[in-house]
Amino acid sequence: MFSRTARPRFPSRPFRAGMASAFSIIEIMIVVAIIGLLAGILISNFSGRFSSSQNEVTSTFVNQTLKTNLMTYRIKMGNYPSNDEGLKALMKAPNGKEEKWKRGGGPFIDSLPEDPWGAPYHYRFPGTHNKDSYDVWSTGPNGPSSPEADWIGNWKNEKE
């Protein structure tokens, strides 16, 4: 039925000596360069989002978390902490107010974290920006040497 002289249906390519099928060094370098370029673009976009995220976390902490704790302190103690007492009054009773602080439910916050850039949050009562209340702020990613317009506080910045 089958003849021995029959030709195969799909003839294979003739083998060329010395020609191996592989990628050249140029092709590999082009692929590596494209991957590096894409990685650079992704990293730069991610770092911008990360920085933006840190600003949002700081703004939320200053405008919501500390606001709640300071409002509770004011309700229980009769007023906001003084400049001398600062934000530490939320964690530890100020001198001369220990009994009222305990009866009021202190501590009002377990711990006071640093801002995302490793600096402390700042507090002022009465506030410069909020005359009838308090100011709380972070000096932001550039630290205390940055202009006040770059600080992240519980007041509206002109650039917002």
pLDDT in tens, 110-150: 888 999 888 999 999 999 999 889 999 999 888 888 888 88
Comparing 4 with 43, the larger pLDDT belongs to 43
Q: Residues 90, 113: contact at Cβ < 8 Å?
A: no
Mean pLDDT confidence for 63-84: 91
Contact 125, 82 (CB under 8 A): yes
Helix (H, G, I), strand (E, B) or coil at 81: coil
Q: In sequence order, what are the beta bridge partners of 66?
A: none
Helix (H) or strand (E) holding 48: helix 25-60
Class for the domain spanning 52-153: alpha beta
8 A C-beta contact, residue 124 and residue 135: yes
Cut 0.85: pTM above it: no
Tell me which residue of 160, 112, 159 sits closest to 136, measured CA to CA: 112
| pLDDT computed for residue 160 by the predictor | 44
Q: What is the pLDDT of residues 16-34, one digit of tens each?
A: 555 556 778 888 888 888 8
CA gap 19, 131 in Å, rounded: 82
65 φ/ψ sector (left φ>0, alpha ψ -120 to 50, else beta): alpha
Residue 146, by phi and psi: left (phi above 0), alpha (psi -120 to 50) or beta? beta
The Cα–Cα gap between 158 and 42 comes to 32
